[in-house]
Amino acid sequence: AQSVAQPEDQVNVAEGNPLTVKCTYSVSGNPYLFWYVQYPNRGLQFLLKYITGDNLVKGSYGFEAEFNKSQTSFHLKKPSALVSDSALYFCAVRDSGGSYIPTFGRGTSLIVHP
C-alpha cells in the first residue's frame, strides 16, 4: 500500500520569506515522489519529482524539494515566496515496483501575504 500525509491544511507566509510545505509518505518499496500545484478552477500542474539520485530536486517556478529517506519526507521549499505562489499544493507518491498510479495527499493551501 502507498499513502501520503500532508499535515498542514494551510500554510501562511509573508512575501519574500522562505516557505515550506510538508509531506510524508509510506510505501512498501522505493518511493517515487511528486509535487503538483493547483490554481483556482485549474487542473493540476506538475512541479517536480524525485525518482532517484540527488536528494534535492529542483523544479518549476523556483521550487525545490528534499527527499529524506530516514524521515520518509519530501518537503516542498522555496527560498523567497511570491504572492502569485498562493495556490493548493499536492504531494503524491507511488511505489517504484508498483503501477504507474500515484496516491495524492489531501493538499495544502499556501497563502502568501503581501
Closest C-alpha to 23, from 71, 58, 61 = 71
Among 15, 44, 75, 82, binds other proteins (CB under 8 A): 44
Q: Whose Cβ is closer to other proteins: residue 7's or residue 18's? A: 7
User: What number of chain residues touch other proteins (CB under 8 A)?
Assistant: 24
Give the three-state DSSP class for 107.
coil
Q: How many CB atoms lie within 10 A of CB 75?
A: 17
The residues of the shown chain that bind other proteins, judged by CB under 8 A, are 4, 32, 34, 36, 41-46, 49, 51, 90, 92, 94, 99-107
